[in-house]
Chains A and B, each alone.
Chain A
Amino acid sequence: MKITRITSSQTGSTLIVTMVTAGILGAVLGTYLSVTCSENLKVKRSIGWNTALPIAEAGIEEACSQICKNTNAYLADGWAVNSNSFAYNKTRFLGENYYSVDINGWMGGVAAFTSTGYGHWTGGSNYISRTVQLIVQTPTPYFPSGLIANTVDIQGNFSADSFDSRTNLYSTNGQYDQRKATDHALIGSPAPSGYSLGGSSTVNGYVATGGGLVTGSGATTVGDFAWTRRNKGIQSGHCTNGFTANFSPVVAPYGPGQKGVKNVITGTNGVTAYDYVLNGGFYFATNLLSSQFGKKMFVAKDSVLVVTGAVDLTSITFNSTNGAKLSLFLGYPSIDFAAALINGTPPQFWLYALPTCANMKISGGNFIGVIYAPGMYLDAEGGASIQGAIVAGTFHCQGGFNFHHDDATNGTDPKPFKILTWAEL
């Protein structure tokens, strides 16, 4: 006889084994689904990552358009100043993705475009970002090709000719030299009414209007050297009446108190003390009235200076070793500018008149640079001379005034927009 005993452990074994098996299978399934979920999330992240690049580049593209269109007004078209990074900023959505692009720099110099593209994905932060940066050469905003004003009112002994500060063939160490002067100065007005050349005006070059006539007194002569030395009147081919020019108003690149903007301070160039020393970058001043060191300024490196108040300078000295440039924005309503410009050539000094700067007077002295003041009344008198180029709303001169146009400031030496480097950060 055999006794078979079913123990309690044998009794529940099938169910337990099944449940354990089910549990193991469930765990396997759970793990698999978890891995699958994780994999899927990584794929979504990858898709967001991929999407972020064309989006970031879209921001770069818009910045390029902004720079090339609004060469003098980076704040135009709804761009904002980011006071934290001192940059012009634009944020734009393209579908569910977006970019934020910064322009950090100024016109006629070098700027950095930094664009961050945000690709949408379903993970934690919802967006994944990538950043692309371009270093570009920004276009020179204007190419004044001579003395251009909407209203030209020339009286007295006016003389105009040209030179080229880039070569000693047509200049001496970048300065005007009468012995090397050339004869293609331009006195132009886009106004349809024309203008008159009074007194004993001599224009070694060309005159142009937007439609009217250029008239002159008996002693006026316009033409090349061979003509002006022997003849009166306007040489054939040296007057046009289809002249057009459209200059944008000046916009201040920044205001006071913004991050990255420095105040002008006293200093030296190692030898001489100056009331203001610009060591490169962005500066702001409410006025330039200090006289502690003789009302003098020294430009050590490329600088931008915005001045809202009165200006009283006797000289601006440029660093002779590095060709430092100064972009000076003036906002005071009426300015008498008589500073002597030392060591500089015209392309190194650009004077911008903000819309609030309505009048400027240059009495005597030799201004070397470019005056860009499309809404301003510019008065030159007292034997003054200007080497460079002029854009003004109204230009008036009387007494003796000499204008020497520098070819280096016009379109013969353009600085077009150019991408220098491109990298993903």
Chain B
Amino acid sequence: MKSSKISTDARPQRGIVSPKVVRQQGFSVIEAMVGFVILGITITALCGGFSFGFNTIKLSQEEVRADQILVQKLETLRIYKWNAINNLFIMANFTNYYSTSNTLHGVTYSGTMNVTNFPATGESYSNTLKQVTATVSWFSEGKNHTRSMSTLVSQNGLLTYTNSP
């Protein structure tokens, strides 16, 4: 056998000159153990970090999609006639998905449209304004998430532009 040997005998053997054998052999084991521990911690942190990162990105993407849904809902209001808004013809509940381009929809968003009176502070025109709040909630990574967005709609506002002949 040509491979080198690690001797456990502390005494010097004939023909072998190795004055630091004892220290070198022991340090090697400790070294390996410390290295193993460090590597273990590093890999654990790496896995945890990547997992956290992936979850953060996934949640961010879901939030962006939620935001798109909210903006879409609020911008759609601009083409409604005042009667539709004032008489609550807007669908109060809706469902949307993370992806609508394939059969796998991904996360499901449950939304609500809430039309309330303008939070007036004494303005004489408060009866010509409505506050509309769109809210979506979804379940992801073991948690419920919610986002909402509000805007105002005026009886004399942009709808008169979009509905003008």
CB pair A1 B16 closer than 8 Å: yes
Q: Please encode chain B, from 74 to 92, with 1 for each CB lying within 8 Å of some chain A CB and 0 for all others.
A: 1100100000000000000
A422 to B157, CA, bound (A): 11
Which residues of the other chain, A, contact B129 by a CB distance below 8 angstroms? 61-62, 65
Q: Is B24 part of the binding interface, using a Cβ–Cβ cutoff of 8 Å?
A: yes
Q: Please encode chain A, from 49 to 60, with 1 for each CB lying within 8 Å of some chain B CB and 0 for all others.
A: 011011101111
A264 to B161, CA, bound (A): 37
CB-CB under 8 A for A58 and B17, given A14-B32, A21-B39:
no
Which residues of the other chain, A, contact B121 by a CB distance below 8 angstroms? 78
Which residues of the other chain, B, contact A32 by a CB distance below 8 angstroms? 49-50, 53
Which residues of the other chain, A, contact B56 by a CB distance below 8 angstroms? 36, 39-40
Smallest CB gap from A136: residue in B: B161
Q: For chain B residues 96-139, which have a beta carbon within 8 Å of chain A?
A: 121-125, 128-129, 131
Q: Is A124 part of the binding interface, using a Cβ–Cβ cutoff of 8 Å?
A: no
CB pair A36 B57 closer than 8 Å: yes
Q: Is A95 part of the binding interface, using a Cβ–Cβ cutoff of 8 Å?
A: yes
- Closest chain-B Cβ to A71's Cβ sits at a distance in Å of 11
Q: For chain B residues 3-47, which have a beta carbon within 8 Å of chain A?
A: 4-5, 15-18, 20-21, 24, 27-28, 31-32, 34-36, 38-39, 41-43, 45-46
Which residues of the other chain, A, contact B153 by a CB distance below 8 angstroms? 61
CB-CB under 8 A for A17 and B35, given A47-B63, A68-B128:
yes
Which residues of the other chain, B, contact A35 by a CB distance below 8 angstroms? 53
A14 to B30, CA, bound (A): 10
Which residues of the other chain, B, contact A62 by a CB distance below 8 angstroms? 129, 152, 154
Q: Please encode chain A, from 301 to 342, with 1 for each CB lying within 8 Å of some chain B CB and 0 for all others.
A: 000000000000000000000000000000000000000000
Which residues of the other chain, A, contact B5 by a CB distance below 8 angstroms? 4
Q: Is B156 part of the binding interface, using a Cβ–Cβ cutoff of 8 Å?
A: yes
CB pair A60 B150 closer than 8 Å: no
Which residues of the other chain, B, contact A21 by a CB distance below 8 angstroms? 39, 42
CB pair B151 A94 closer than 8 Å: yes
Q: A39's contact among B36, B60, B78, by CB below 8 Å, is which?
A: B60
Which residues of the other chain, A, contact B150 by a CB distance below 8 angstroms? 54-55, 58, 94-95, 97
CB-CB under 8 A for A54 and B60, given A33-B53, A61-B129, A95-B150:
no
Q: For chain A residues 17-36, which have a beta carbon within 8 Å of chain B?
A: 17-19, 21-22, 25-26, 28-29, 32-33, 35-36
Q: A65's contact among B41, B50, B61, B125, by CB below 8 Å, is which?
A: B125
Smallest CB gap from B153: residue in A: A61
Chain A residues touching B, majority SS: helix
Task: Indicate the size class of the contact surface on chain A.
Answer: 35 or more
- Closest chain-A Cβ to B73's Cβ sits at a distance in Å of 9
A3 to B13, CA, bound (A): 11
Which residues of the other chain, B, contact A60 by a CB distance below 8 angstroms? 157-158
Q: A12's contact among B31, B124, B125, by CB below 8 Å, is which?
A: B31
CB pair B38 A43 closer than 8 Å: no
CB pair B152 A78 closer than 8 Å: no
| Residue from the set A54, A55, A67 with the largest chain B CB neighbour count within 10 Å | A54
Which residues of the other chain, B, contact A230 by a CB distance below 8 angstroms? none
- Closest chain-B Cβ to A3's Cβ sits at a distance in Å of 6
A369 to B110, CA, bound (A): 60
A46 to B70, CA, bound (A): 13
- Closest chain-A Cβ to B136's Cβ sits at a distance in Å of 12
CB pair A77 B124 closer than 8 Å: yes
Q: B128's contact among A11, A28, A69, A78, by CB below 8 Å, is which?
A: A69
- Closest chain-B Cβ to A77's Cβ sits at a distance in Å of 4
B residues adjacent to A (C-beta < 8 A): 2, 4-5, 15-18, 20-21, 24, 27-28, 31-32, 34-36, 38-39, 41-43, 45-46, 49-50, 52-53, 56-57, 60-61, 63-64, 67-68, 70-71, 74-75, 78, 121-125, 128-129, 131, 147-158, 160-161, 164
Closest 6 CB pairs of A and B: A18-B35, A69-B125, A54-B151, A58-B152, A61-B154, A43-B60
Task: Show 19 residue pairs from A and B whose CB-CB distance is below 8 angstroms, ordered by the A residue.
Answer: A6-B18, A11-B27, A11-B28, A14-B35, A29-B46, A32-B53, A39-B60, A40-B60, A43-B64, A54-B151, A61-B129, A62-B152, A68-B125, A68-B154, A77-B122, A77-B125, A94-B152, A418-B164, A419-B161
Additional A-B contact list (10), CB under 8 Å, known A2-B4, A54-B151, A57-B152:
A5-B18, A14-B32, A15-B35, A21-B42, A25-B46, A35-B53, A39-B60, A50-B67, A60-B158, A422-B158
